[in-house]
Structure 1
Amino acid sequence: MDDAPGRKPWEAFHPDGVIIFSDILTPLPAFGVPFDIEEVRGPVIQSPIRDEDALKTLHPIDLEKLNFVGESLNILRHEVGDKAAVLGFVGAPWTIATYIVEGGTTRTYTTIKSMCHTSPHVLETLLSHITEAITEYVVYQVKSGAHCIQIFDSWGGQLPPHMWERWSKPYIKQVVDAVRKKCPETPLVFYINGNGGLLERMKDTGVDVIGLDWTVDMADGRSRLGPEISVQGNVDPACLFSPLAALTDEIHRVVKCAGPRGHILNLGHGVLVGTPEEAVAHFFDVAKSFKFD
């Protein structure tokens, strides 16, 4: 989002954290899952992995194929200096697996959910492979300049809580535990879209920060998670289409509910297409106006 030709968001808004606009599927070709991006359908994987034979196409992640990510992080780290945190990000194993099994974006997740019962060994093998690849990818991003890593289990909220415990949480915890050993100083942020029914379970993964979407009341989320873990969010992205006075009120409400410590003010998800740029600027102006003792 540029407010003038050639002007980067960092230059326009000077946030406390910056991130490279990319995609959670970026590392897939580096471990054996090529994909295309189609204008209407989005990501398309021509050869979904749904049986043992298909698993043979997988291989250990080749980080040389992701040099452009490392180079971009290094450039960004140099550009912002010590004025902002550089954020890296990855998709959680379950969420990445949904694309690989379904062959792209889906609204029903019927194929992968069926695999939980019909081919659990295939799905377990796939998730384990993704977990190893994502762990290496996280460490690579940290070594390339990322101060912090955000883990997105975007479609974890599509699972009933007991199935999330079985098919997502253990693999996220493996990533977290492995990164803790190799990069102990790196904070980890964890987000699930539609996470209201999973907050307490998310806490058990061992991350430092949990992102709340806008469907969770900030005060309620704080109460459920407890004071020992930080939170991120959770202004509704649609509020940036409202009058600026209403946006100001909502930002103040969220901050008041979150309290003065352990809160990263943010939207409850990404900036929506068509969001007025003056609203984004206003969000940052209001955020920077807060004073805490």
Structure 2
Amino acid sequence: MSELKNDRFLRALRREPVDRTPVWMMRQAGRYLPEYRASRARAGDFLRLCKTPELACEVTLQPLDRYPLDAAILFSDILTIPDAMGLGLYFAEGEGPKFERPLRSAAAIEALPLPDPETELRYVMDGVRTIRGALNGRVPLIGFSGSPWTLATYMVEGRGGHDFAIIKRMAFEEPEALQMLVDKLAESVTQYLAAQARAGAQALMVFDTWGGVLSPALYQRFSLAPMAKIVARVQALAPDVPVILFTKNGGQHLEAMADTGCTALGVDWTTDLSVARARVGERVAIQGNLDPCALFAPPSVIRAEVARVLESFGHGSGHVFNLGHGILQGVPPDHAGAMIEAVQELSPAYHLRPGRAS
């Protein structure tokens, strides 16, 4: 593998000194970019785009060719593991992902196979290897997975979002069945992330998109506990690869998330970074947390919001600038560029060494 030319992102995750705050965007390769829409049209459908390593590489690199970002993130989907388990993933136009065979019984959960990352999910690993080669050391590559709880919501509900009544009913009426499911998923996610690290991913992120819909007790059992297992096992298998945990709407759980031993926490826009930093101290780096909707505003407003986020975190290392969730489809590409430019221009003042003029 080529020597890394820009390690600012990895240094910030390790809370080491950097010259400015590194920046990347969740969902940075996506539908807001016209070049992505052209690639997707050429692929024919979203799943073919994900499952063709050369196309996944192409779209992963598109935002890096447009913006001076400090990290690339593998272009894939959080539902690759459930798809490999045979649940019949498909994407309904305008409705998002759905499963033909949702899990509604303990017997169905017990029958679930654990996919081998290098066979059933080899296209992901081939994508990681292809992207690492194409990056040629330009910036680090982030691999990722959905959290066990988040994957379970799609697998039980058969779709995303809504009120989660089916899986929450299972949590109360058949907790042992749901426990079996998140345990299986924790094992599968662990092996999946470790395989991504072996293939060349230089950081790993767990997206707990739906953990914030749980009560504290259910969050501890069905979301946090399996993520803690994943962190411990992945760090044993790939000790040099940092692990980022992100629970959307999970601000109340930051201390417990930091206790997992993860390297960094993603924080959404509902928690002020100064509060998050005070609560977790020096245990973890913090990633975030501009509201994605701010990118619809004029560039002058975006710059002011970037300044507010940087000031909220304050001086010193351990901050990775990001959105509080994925970039939205209708954002003008030049507005994303305005955000990145503002981070580059405004953040060096927060990293001045003692004794240097401000």
Q: TM-score range by the shorter chain?
A: over 0.9
User: 1:81-102: per-residue Cα shift (whole Å, max 9, x none)?
Assistant: 2221100010110111111111
Q: What corresponds to 1:200 in structure 2?
A: 255
RMSD of aligned residue pairs (Cα, Å) = 1.7
Deviations 1:238-258 (A, max 9, x none): 111111111111111111221
Q: What's the secondary structure of 2:251's corresponding residue?
A: coil
Instruction: Give the unaligned 5+ runs of structure 2.
Output: 1-31, 40-60, 353-358
Report whether the alignment pairs 1:182 with 2:237.
yes
Note the alpha carbon deviations across 1:201-258, whole angstroms, 9 max, x for none.
Answer: 2212221110110111111111112122110000111111111111111111111221
In the alignment, is the contact (CA less than 8 A) between 2:76 and 2:124 conserved in 1?
no
From 276, 290, 293, the equivalent of 2:332 is: 276
Secondary structure of the 1:284 match is: helix
In the alignment of these two chains, the number of paired residues is 293
Change (3 A) 1:242 1:82: same
TM-score normalized by the length of structure 1 = 0.95
Determine if the alignment matches structure 1 residue 230 to structure 2 residue 289. Answer: no
Aligned to 1:26: 80
* Distance across 1 between alignment mates of 2:247 and 2:307: 24
**Residues 31, 133 of structure 1: 8 Å contact kept:** no
Q: Matched residue of 1:265: which SS?
A: strand
Counterparts of 1:133-148 in structure 2, within 5 Å, are 133-148=188-203
1:79 offset after TM fit, Å? 1.9
Cα deviation for residue 3 of structure 1 reads 6.2
Q: Is the Cα contact below 8 Å between 2:242 and 2:263 reproduced in 1? A: yes
Q: Does 1:43 align with 2:97?
A: yes
Asked whether the 8 Å contact 1:33–1:58 carries over to 2, the reply is no
Of residues 298, 316, 322, the one that matches 1:266 is 322
CA distance, structure 2, for counterparts of residue 131 and residue 211 of structure 1: 19
Q: Which has the higher contact order (CA 8 A, sep 6+)?
A: 2
User: 1: distance between equivalents of 2:213 and 2:66?
Assistant: 36
Deviations 1:8-62 (A, max 9, x none): 1111113101113321001223233331111132211122212122124311212
Higher mean alpha-carbon deviation, 79-88 vs 51-60, is at: 51-60
* Residue correspondence of structure 1 range 60-75 to structure 2 within 5 A: 60-63=114-117, 64-75=119-130
Instruction: Give yes or no for the alignment of 1:210 onto 2:262.
Output: no
How far the C-alpha of 1:127 sits from its partner, in A, is 1.0
**Counterpart in 1 of 2:135?**
80
Aligned with residue 55 of structure 1, among 100, 106, 109: 109
Q: CA deviation at 1:151?
A: 0.4
* 1:33/1:57 contact within 8 Å kept: no
Give percent identity, aligned residues only. 33
Structure 1 residue runs without a partner (length 5+)? none
